[in-house]
């Protein structure tokens, strides 16, 4: 996408979440490095992609989002996070048909890690994760994880089709798809796993719980669109709210950025108002719900800070962008 402005000013997203403490799991360093080694053993990255992967720091993100879990569950969660980012990157390079093939392999491995046989890296990694996840995950948590992974792959396949056709979705189409391409939903299911809880279905699917998940997903997804726009506009990727607003609603770059920033701010406010409206389901369930809601809060603030620490969005400039909030666009990549 061509753009007349070489830079934009990020909204003060950290200020929106200033009342949420950034926490970190004490097992972070050892688990993060072990998880990276686990994925690299199967992924067969080129040297360039390996360097990019090691700058991702998905283990650090995991430690901020699941700060109270034990080392074993943190490792399983970190493995999934590294795998999810890798799936996202692989799907960006795949055709719609290849994405469906990837989805089928991974979903079969996740569903039957003991019985499913494959020589594909994605399947092997999914089997390894699922074997360990299923050892202690509750039935409700497991069902929600599988359900949301299926939604993730369906949305990613739709995104691949749009990319292949050069389609720019409408704002409504993009929002509907982004709830699932974000990958937040299976990560929220892991909050139950990490805490060793299994919330009853009638609670997990309650409208107020769904509202809280929706608000957290919005904060994470829309802020990620702001962070990733620098890279995505350079490669012509139109699946980004900033790009959609500029194309379909004829907003300027800074106008679109400010609009997305307001959505983030409103979503934090909605999260806070909704958490005061939760009904009571009894002492034990209420404690588990509070643990889950705290996990959603940890995800919002953890993802914000990690986005500046990781090299995925700003390379070596993350600290400067975090301080000054000025994002300089990358030049457009030549068409292959």
Please, are residues 109 and 118 in contact by the beta-carbon 8 Å criterion?
yes
Q: How many Å apart are CA 79 and CA 84, to the nearest integer?
A: 9
The first and second tokens of residue 55, run together, are: 């700058």
In a domain, 324, yes or no: no
What average pLDDT score do residues 286-315 get?
98
In a domain, 46, yes or no: yes
pLDDT band at 335 (very low <50, low <70, confident <90, very high): low
Structural domain harbouring 162: 8-17+26-318
Q: Phi, psi (5° rounding) for residue 8? A: -150, 165
The CATH number covering residue 217 comes to 1.10.600.10
- pLDDT score at 316: 96
* pLDDT exceeds 60 at position 2: no
How many domains in the chain?
1
The first and second tokens of residue 214, run together, are: 């929706």
In a domain, 325, yes or no: no
Q: What is the pLDDT of residues 169-200, one digit of tens each?
A: 899 999 999 999 999 999 999 999 999 999 99
Give the helix ranges, DSSP H, for the chain. Answer: 13-16, 28-43, 47-54, 58-65, 71-93, 96-111, 121-136, 139-165, 171-181, 184-195, 201-204, 207-234, 241-248, 253-275, 283-309, 311-314, 318-324
In a domain, 156, yes or no: yes
Q: What is the pLDDT of residues 22-49, one digit of tens each?
A: 999 999 999 999 999 999 999 999 999 9
In a domain, 1, yes or no: no
In a domain, 3, yes or no: no
Q: What is the pLDDT of residues 88-125, one digit of tens each?
A: 998 877 777 888 999 999 999 999 999 999 999 999 99
């Amino acid at each position: 996408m061509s753009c007349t402005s070489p830079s934009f000013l990020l909204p003060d997203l950290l200020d929106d979440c200033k009342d949420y403490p950034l926490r970190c799991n004490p097992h972070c360093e050892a688990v993060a490095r072990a998880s990276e080694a686990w994925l690299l053993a199967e992924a067969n990255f080129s040297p360039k992609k390996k360097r990019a992967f090691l700058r991702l720091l998905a283990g650090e993100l995991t430690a901020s989002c699941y700060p109270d879990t034990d080392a074993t569950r943190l490792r399983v969660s970190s493995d999934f996070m590294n795998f999810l980012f890798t799936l996202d990157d692989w799907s960006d390079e795949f055709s719609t048909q290849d994405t469906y093939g990837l989805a089928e392999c991974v979903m079969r491995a996740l569903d039957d890690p003991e019985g499913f046989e494959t020589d594909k890296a994605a399947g092997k990694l999914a089997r390894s994760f699922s074997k360990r996840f299923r050892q202690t995950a509750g039935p409700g948590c497991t069902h929600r994880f599988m359900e949301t992974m299926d939604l993730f792959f369906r949305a990613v396949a739709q995104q691949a089709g749009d990319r292949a056709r050069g389609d720019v979705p409408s704002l409504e189409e993009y929002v509907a798809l982004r709830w699932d391409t974000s990958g937040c939903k299976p990560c929220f299911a892991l909050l139950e796993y990490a805490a060793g809880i299994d919330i009853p279905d009638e609670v997990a699917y309650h409208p107020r719980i769904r509202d809280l998940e929706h608000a957290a997903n919005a904060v994470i997804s829309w802020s990620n669109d702001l962070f990733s726009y620098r890279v995505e506009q350079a490669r012509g990727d139109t699946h980004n709210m900033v790009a959609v607003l500029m194309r379909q609603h004829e907003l300027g770059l800074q106008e679109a950025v400010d609009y997305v920033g307001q959505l983030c701010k409103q979503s934090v406010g909605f999260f806070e108002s909704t958490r005061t409206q939760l009904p009571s389901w009894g002492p034990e369930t209420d404690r588990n719900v509070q643990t889950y809601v705290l996990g959603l809060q940890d995800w919002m603030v953890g993802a914000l800070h990690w986005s500046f620490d990781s090299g995925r969005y700003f390379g070596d400039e993350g600290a400067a962008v975090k301080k000054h909030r000025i994002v300089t666009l990358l030049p457009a990549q030549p068409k292959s």
